[in-house]
């Protein structure tokens, strides 16, 4: 027999499903109307008989803007990437631009990556903008996302769009919106635009292009962007000889970075660069990898094999739209080891801080940006240099917002755990072009000074504490998966853990309610950053566990961070194992394995 609470849940779930079923039927009826093309209607009718489950998933909700814009599987329906969902978003954005910049010439720039349909999707977006009297600069071929961010300001545009789904599987595509500062949309603009989009009917979309308003761009912007990348990513301490002496293996993982990274390295003076030829040609199928994500060790296997063949000092791989990078360097035993995003961020930040310090440029008016789920070590590191570390929500749009919100402060750099970094403010999104160069600069300098990238990382741990992080992602697809993720977060929020792996929980930070509770003192204080569906537990021994539903994938993510002191470089292996064992114990205690 069902208990009262179970009956209540059952009724709520039944009510939810009936409302969802009704919405699905209403959406399908709309998409079978005369406005939609015959191919779309034929596909819907086939799905009704051949795959009703997929049909329901295609129409049960509208695609939403997450931490990295709007991403989804390509296909028909409101919950898919197609000409109509892109068209509706672009129509709403066009209307908002006219409201925001009345009686002005409005300009936008559009780029796209290597994914299937990215080029025709980009033209559809350009058509809708131009149909609404907006001038469009459309890249002639695929380009890296950081170049799009740069181009927004360089071309004095009010808006920018890039068609990409970052590192998602081949069946995905996406739509990222940038504003006049070159950063992605943030509040209040995102909410206002979404409300406007939701108020539109599909029949409001104007697809009739004004071709005279669409201009093709290419090498003229490339040259300026690459030169700016060389200027911002170079360390003044290096010499021509130290750069020539560094052996680099680079893989584009079939993505857009091939259009910018090799030339950037060449102009910076790196002549010993080995490309993974089999992964250099852009290809939306990503045929040589299971996932085009440099966070995944398997994605860099071909690059690591080549590194052994040519005895390279460093391996770097970038994701399809070239905003993330994965790095491997040689450890104390001369073996290639993969760094995680937090380690990369720590090293890049340290060397930028050293550069500023050695120039006598640190005066208390600088800051570094990071995020709530990245390593706490970043705050410890910046504090040692007398530089503030500003912490925001997940996603580089929040770091870009910091630059805009604090114009009197110099932005040194910023990073997050998900393998992204931004050097200076000439680009306002994570930038694997400039960051690849900076990684090589660090490797070249340390090699020339009888050290290495890896040794400097360990010495940084000795000085500031040894931190270890791990991310556990659990995939929950479809309608039921979304409900299950919500249930996990609700349960964690209503019944917070009081201890983790035997260590008392000191604080519970709930970014949805904007309240941080100290469980030991029984006090609370406000969280002074925007709301988000994130919970962070901090324990008595300094461990942290964050829970967060992904904003771009059907996943719930658990971020685990532990730390301890490191007495010497020789003690690193044992200390690292201790921290790894501690993470495993936390995973077991929380039943995440």
Catalytic residue annotation: 166
Of 65, 79, 71, which is closest to residue 31 (Cα–Cα)? 79
Of 135, 114, 110, which is closest to residue 123 (Cα–Cα)? 110
Tell me whether strands 214-217 and 135-139 are parallel, antiparallel or unpaired. Answer: parallel
Please state the length of the chain: 593
For 11, residues 6+ apart whose C-beta sits below 8 A from its C-beta are none
For residue 474, list its beta bridge partners.
Answer: 556
DSSP classification of residue 321? T
For residue 415, list its beta bridge partners.
Answer: 421
Backbone region of residue 406 per phi and psi (left: phi > 0; alpha: psi in -120 to 50; beta: other values)? beta
CA atoms within 13 A on the CB side of 27: 23
Tell me whether strands 410-416 and 466-475 are parallel, antiparallel or unpaired. Answer: unpaired
Of 181, 66, 174, which is closest to residue 117 (Cα–Cα)? 174
Of 88, 69, 70, which is closest to residue 27 (Cα–Cα)? 88
C-alpha 378/C-alpha 421 separation (Å) is: 13
Helices (H), 449-571: 453-464, 478-494
Q: Is the preceding peptide bond at 188 cis, omega within 30 degrees of 0?
A: yes
CA atoms within 13 A on the CB side of 26: 10
Structure-block tokens of residue 201: 């009917």
Structure-block tokens of residue 147: 């170049």
Q: Tokens 């990437």 sit at which residue?
A: 81
């Amino acid at each position: 027999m069902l208990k009262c609470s179970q009956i209540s849940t059952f009724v709520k779930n039944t009510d939810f499903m009936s409302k969802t079923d009704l919405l699905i039927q209403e959406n399908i009826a709309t998409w079978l109307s005369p406005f939609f093309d015959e191919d779309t209607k034929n596909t819907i009718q086939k799905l009704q008989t051949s795959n009703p489950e997929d049909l329901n998933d295609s129409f049960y909700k509208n695609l939403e803007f997450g931490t990295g814009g709007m991403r989804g599987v390509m296909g028909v329906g409101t919950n898919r990437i197609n000409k109509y969902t892109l068209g509706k978003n672009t129509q709403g954005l066009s209307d908002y631009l006219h409201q925001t910049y009345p009686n002005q010439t409005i300009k936008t720039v559009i780029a796209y990556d290597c994914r299937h349909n990215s080029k025709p999707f980009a033209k559809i977006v350009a058509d809708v903008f131009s149909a609404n009297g907006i001038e469009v600069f459309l890249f002639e071929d695929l380009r890296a996302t950081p170049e799009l961010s740069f181009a927004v300001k360089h071309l004095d545009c009010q808006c920018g769009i890039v068609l990409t789904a970052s590192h998602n599987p081949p069946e995905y595509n996406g739509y990222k919106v940038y504003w006049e500062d070159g950063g992605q949309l943030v509040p209040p603009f995102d909410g206002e635009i979404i409300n406007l989009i939701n108020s539109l009917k599909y029949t409001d979309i104007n697809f009739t292009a004004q071709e005279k308003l669409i201009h093709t761009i290419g090498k003229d912007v490339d040259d300026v962007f690459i030169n700016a990348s060389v200027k911002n990513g170079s360390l003044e301490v290096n010499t021509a000889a130290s750069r020539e002496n560094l052996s680099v293996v680079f893989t584009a993982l079939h993505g857009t970075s091939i259009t910018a990274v090799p030339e950037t390295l060449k102009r910076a003076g790196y002549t010993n660069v080995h490309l993974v030829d089999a992964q250099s040609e852009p290809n939306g199928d990503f045929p040589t990898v299971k996932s085009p994500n440099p966070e995944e060790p398997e994605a860099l296997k071909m690059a690591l094999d080549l590194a052994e063949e040519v005895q390279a000092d460093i391996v770097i791989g970038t994701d399809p739209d070239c905003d993330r990078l994965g790095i491997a360097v040689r450890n104390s035993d001369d073996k290639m080891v993969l760094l995680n995003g937090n380690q990369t961020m720590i090293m890049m930040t340290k060397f930028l801080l050293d550069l500023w310090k050695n120039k006598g440029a640190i005066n208390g008016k600088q800051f570094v940006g990071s995020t709530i789920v990245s390593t706490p070590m970043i705050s410890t590191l910046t504090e040692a240099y007398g530089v503030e570390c500003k912490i925001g929500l997940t996603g580089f749009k929040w770091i870009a917002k910091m630059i805009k919100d604090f114009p009197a402060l110099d932005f040194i750099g910023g990073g997050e755990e998900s393998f992204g970094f931004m050097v200076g403010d000439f680009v306002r999104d994570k930038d694997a072009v400039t960051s690849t160069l900076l990684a090589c600069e660090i490797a070249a300098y340390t090699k020339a000074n009888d050290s290495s990238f890896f040794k400097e990382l360990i010495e940084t741990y000795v000085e500031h504490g040894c931190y270890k992080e791990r991310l556990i992602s659990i995939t929950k697809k479809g309608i039921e998966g979304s409900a299950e993720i919500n249930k996990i977060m609700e349960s964690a929020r209503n019944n917070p853990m009081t201890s983790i792996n035997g260590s008392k929980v000191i604080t519970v930070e709930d970014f949805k309610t904007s309240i941080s509770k100290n469980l030991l003192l029984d006090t609370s204080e406000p969280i002074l950053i925007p709301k988000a569906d994130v919970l962070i537990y901090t324990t008595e021994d300094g461990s942290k566990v964050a829970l967060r539903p992904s904003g771009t994938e059907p996943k719930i993510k658990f971020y685990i961070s532990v730390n301890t002191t490191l007495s010497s470089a020789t003690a690193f292996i044992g200390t690292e194992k201790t921290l790894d064992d501690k993470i495993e114990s936390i995973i077991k205690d929380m039943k995440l394995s």
